[in-house]
Structures are given as C-alpha cells and as structure tokens.
Amino acid sequence: MKRIVSVTMFSACLLAVSPVVRAQDCSNLTNYDYRGTYTISGSGWADVSKLLAGIPGLPPMPAGFVPMSWLGVETLDGHGGATGWVSVNSAGTQMSASFVDKTYSVQPDCSLRVTFSMKINELPGNPVIGPFLRIMVPVFKPGSLELHMIWKGNAPGAPTGPAVDSGIAYRISM
C-alpha cells in the first residue's frame, strides 16, 4: 500500500508540473519583443585589478576578488541596440559608468546575448573597459517582463575572468 501511494503521489507531481517543464517556443520572439526601459541591479565579486588593467595613469590595483553591487537603467531599442548607465560599489569604492556599444540578440533558447563596454566616469580620460558578455533569461509574467542575468566570459587581458555576478532587470516602460 505504501508503494502504491508513493507512486501515485510521484505521478501526480509530474503531471502537475508538466506544463512548466515544457520548453518555451521562442520561434516568434524578436529583439522588438524585449524593447523598453529596465531598472537593473545585481551583486557579486570582482577582481578590479583585471577590470582596470592597462588604463594609462592608473596605478596597479591589488589582485583578488572583492564584493561589489550595482544598479542602473538600460533601454533596449527593439532593434538590437541599447543604452544606459550603471553605478557600481566595489569594496566600498563608488563609480559610475555609461554603456558603450551595447547590443543584444534573441537566442534560440529565448535568452538574450548581450555585449557591452563601459566608459568609467570617475577615472582620468573616462577610459572604456570591455567588451563584456552577459546572458539574460526572460521571465514572462502577466503584464511584466523580468530579465535574469549572469556575467559570462572574460574581459580582454583577464584570462581567468574579472568578475562573478548575477542580477535582474525589471521592465518599467516600453
């Protein structure tokens, strides 16, 4: 009897979640479907010595990962281009940056592949660092869209990667 109840409960659970488990059909999604302005925020760890390596006039930074958090705004234009800014606190040091050459494209698995560089406002000459790669996974909710993201890839000159972080973007307007 115990076995029958266990098998029945297991089967019922599988049937209950089966629509959730099914892959989403992305064949009709385009860059236009993701257009809009988003608030963005996240946290993780960064090796500032790798992120800021080679910037003229900047002394070498100590190596090693330090905690960081960030927030900002980005606007996806519906055609694969994007603009925006981000404010970053890394180990207690506050900096702001503007996105440069930010692009995005819908992938067959519904995710967005996002590439960008950042122009650092507080450093001499406003150097541009990057390019960087992010993968964003959409979460469609009634009346809203969230993009969950993770840092992926390496910055130039940083073979082991400059950061590990994740974040979320909430669409606030179209």
The predicted pLDDT at position 69 comes to 95
Q: What is the pLDDT of residues 22-73, one digit of tens each?
A: 456 777 899 999 999 999 999 988 888 888 888 888 888 888 889 999 999 9
**Domains in the chain and their CATH numbers?**
26-173 (2.40.160)
- Band (151; pLDDT cuts 50, 70, 90): confident
> Which residue bears the tokens 């099914």?
22
Note the pTM of the prediction, 2 decimals. 0.79
Interatomic CA distance for residues 142 and 148, integer angstroms:
16
Interatomic CA distance for residues 12 and 18, integer angstroms:
10
**φ, ψ at 19 (rounded to 5°):** -65, -30
- Band (14; pLDDT cuts 50, 70, 90): very low
Radius of gyration, CA atoms only, the chain: 20
Closest CA to 47 of 151, 166, 164: 164
